[in-house]
Amino acid sequence: MSSIPQWPPELSTLQLESLTLLATTYALSHGLLYLPVASPQPPVPNSAIHAPLSLFPSPIPRKIFQKAKKLQSIYNVLYARVAMDTDFLDRIMGAEVGVGRVDEFVGRLWKGWKEIRDQGITQPLHLGLFRSDYLLHSPSPGEPVSLKQVEFNTISSSFGPLSQQTAALHSSTHYYHLSPYLKAENFPSNTTLSGLAAGLAEGHKAYGVPDARILFVVQDGERNVFDQRWLEYELLEKHSIHITRQTLSQLTTSASLDPTTSALIISSSTEISVVYFRAGYTPNDFTQPSHYDARFLLEKSRAIKCPSIPLQLAGGKKVQEVLAKPGVVEQFLKDQGQALIDEIRASWMGMWGLDDDDENLSSGDLVGDTTARRDPESEPAGLKRARDNHANLVLKPQREGGGNNVYKSSIPPFLDSLPPQERAAWIAMELIVPPQGLGNYLVRAGGGQAGAVKAEVVSELGIFGWALFGGEEKKVVKEVEAGWLVRTKGKDSDEGGVAAGFSVLDSIILV
String of DSSP letters for 332-355: H-GGG-HHHHHHHHHT---EEETT
Q: Does 153 bind Mg ion (CB under 5 A)?
A: yes
With CB cut-offs between 5 and 8 Å by kind, which of Mg ion, ligand ADP, none does residue 394 bind? ligand ADP
Site for ligand ADP in 180-219 (CB under 6 A): none
- From residue 400 to residue 419, the character string flagging contacts with Mg ion as x (rule: CB under 5 A) and all else as - is x-------------------
Q: Which is nearer to Mg ion, 151 or 271 (CB)?
A: 151
The amino acid at residue 353 is G
Q: Is-catalytic flag, 208? A: no
CB of 403 to ligand ADP, least distance (A): 7
The C-alpha R_g of the chain, in whole angstroms, comes to: 23
Sole binder of ligand ADP in the list 133, 232, 299, 321 (CB under 6 A): 133
The beta strands (E) that lie in 219-345 are given as 243-247, 255-257, 264-266, 270-277, 304-306
Number of neighbouring beta carbons within 10 Å of residue 256:
15
Site for ligand ADP in 470-509 (CB under 6 A): 495-497
Size of the site for Mg ion (CB under 5 A): 3
Q: Does 404 bind ligand ADP (CB under 6 A)?
A: yes
Q: Is-catalytic flag, 401? A: yes
CB of 366 to ligand ADP, least distance (A): 13
First to last CA, the chain: 7
The amino acid at residue 508 is I
- The whole-angstrom separation of Cα 386 and Cα 354 is 7
CB of 329 to ligand ADP, least distance (A): 18
Is 397 annotated to bind ligand?
yes
Is 153 annotated to bind ligand?
yes
Which among 198, 272, 71, 86 has a CA at the least distance from the CA of 466? 198
Q: Are 443 and 24 in contact (CB under 8 A)?
A: yes
Which among 431, 433, 452, 435 has a CA at the least distance from the CA of 443? 452
String of DSSP letters for 43-111: SS----EEPPEESS-EEE-HHHHHHHHHHHHHHHHHHHHHHH-HHHHHHHH-SSSSGGGT-HHHHHHHH
Q: Is-catalytic flag, 478? A: no
Please choose, out of 18-26, 319-327, 399-407, 433-441, the segment that lies near Mg ion by the rule CB under 5 A: 399-407
Q: Is-catalytic flag, 396? A: yes
Mark the binding-site residues for ATP, compressed into ranges: 151, 317, 396-405, 407, 429-432, 460, 489, 495
Binding positions for Mg ion, rule: CB under 5 A: 151, 153, 400
Binding positions for ligand ADP, rule: CB under 6 A: 133, 135, 150-151, 349, 394, 396, 400-402, 404-405, 429, 431-432, 460, 495-497
